[in-house]
Amino acid sequence: MTTDADLNPAPFKSGYVTIAGAPNSGKSTLLNRILGEKISIISSKPQTTRTRILGVCHRPGAQIVFYDTPGVFVAKDTLNLRIVDTAIGAIGEADVLLAVVDAARPDPEAEDCLLQKIHDQKHPAVLALNKIDLIPDKQVLLETIALWSRYHPFEAVVPISALDGTQVEAIVSAIVKALPVGPAYYPEETLTDATERFIASELIREKLFRLTGEEIPYASAVTVEAFKPSAGGKRVSIEATIHLERDSQKGIVIGKGGAMLKAIGTAARQEMAEHLGAAAHLSLWVKVKKGWRNDPLLLRLLGIAREA
Ligand code: GDP
Ligand code: MG
């Protein structure tokens, strides 16, 4: 039997989607949730760009290429603004912007900044109001949805819980709807173009972003010296170094009695274990090198080409 769908199949859709939002709004949780547990299967293509993690979502009739940008966070001072502007470059290349907001914990300052970024770009935007599992009062939720719908002509405003998966497929559908017609850019089995090693270094960098003041992220880089899975694949040993520019920064990153470094290491290790689906053992060092940003060897290690 021939159906209308056979005669007029919906054209394949594809495109790039940048995920933007304040730290802790749940961007990475959402991406992992959309990609499914298979995030630990990682292709070995080398990563060339430092600030982007690419995640490829395959659905019947569509492919979404997500950029999870650890650097896209809400800037509260000029120094951070510069970092944001670099990272936000990804938005310029995207077809759709996925904004993620922690709906359970309104932060007007952070939300203003995010909205400004959304207004400043011309791509369709889909809004995920995340963490609705923490909002028991549905009336409050309805008001939040109404409020955000007035802020910007979003393609869709979808209340979700990235943590428990509620409405996550509705976000995917809303994005697919907003995507242009296009080919599949990546083969079916590709979930990311980042190596596990690269993800490990990004996770450490992200914790630095979150746990230290604004001076540190800008002045820091992370290299992974060793990445050794155990024979059975149940355990991975990782050795990494945080590179800083000044001794005073070293004090901040190490913290009182090593507390800060320990917190960074613990947070990074826990997330590595999640990503890898294996226990992670992390040894973390801190090195001070003046002007590391001009060190050709370190830049090569970081995959950043020196400008001619
Ligand atoms: P990111 O900085 O935007 O990438 O945020 P993460 O994905 O790292 O999440 C930050 C924190 O929020 C983590 O502790 C997550 O477990 C938590 N989180 C993310 N999504 C949800 C959600 O839907 N509900 C709840 N309760 N917590 C969430
Ligand atoms: Mg994240």
Q: What is the per-residue pLDDT for 308?
A: 31
Q: Name residues contacting ligand 1 (CB within 6 A).
A: 21, 23-29, 130-131, 133-134, 161-163
Distance between CA atoms of 211 and 263, rounded to whole angstroms? 8
Whether pTM exceeds 0.75? no
> What pLDDT tens digit does each residue of the chain (308 aa) get?
555 556 667 899 999 998 888 777 888 789 888 987 434 322 222 222 345 567 899 999 999 999 876 544 444 444 344 444 545 555 567 899 999 999 999 888 888 888 888 888 889 999 999 999 999 999 999 999 999 999 999 999 999 999 999 999 999 999 999 999 999 999 888 888 778 888 888 888 878 877 887 667 667 888 899 999 888 878 999 999 999 988 889 999 999 999 999 999 999 999 888 878 889 999 999 999 887 767 777 766 665 543 33
Rounded to 5, what percent of the chain is helix, strand, coil? Answer: 45, 25, 35
Nearest CA to ligand 1 atom 25: 131
Q: What is the per-residue pLDDT for 3?
A: 59
Distance between CA atoms of 224 and 242, rounded to whole angstroms? 9
Instruction: Return the SS3 of 248.
Output: helix
Q: What is the per-residue pLDDT for 306?
A: 39
Number of Cβ within 10 Å of residue 134's Cβ equals 12
Domains of the chain from N-terminus onward:
4-178 (3.40.50.300), 196-301 (3.30.300.20)
Question: Nearest 10 degrees: CA dihedral of 29, 31, 32, 36?
Answer: 140
Pick the ligand that lies closest to the CA of residue 100.
1
Ligand 2 is a single-atom ion; what residues have CB below 5 A from it?
Answer: 27-28
Nearest CA to ligand 1 atom 19: 26
Distances (CA, A) of 179 to 120, 147, 155: 19, 25, 11
Nearest CA to ligand 1 atom 15: 26
Distance between CA atoms of 125 and 123, rounded to whole angstroms? 6
Q: What is the per-residue pLDDT for 75?
A: 43
Q: What is the per-residue pLDDT for 81?
A: 45
- In 3D space, the residue among 138, 174, 177 whose CA is nearest the CA of residue 157 turns out to be 174
For a pocket test of ligand 1, which of 18, 24, 29 has the largest count of ligand atoms closer than 8 A to its C-beta? Answer: 29
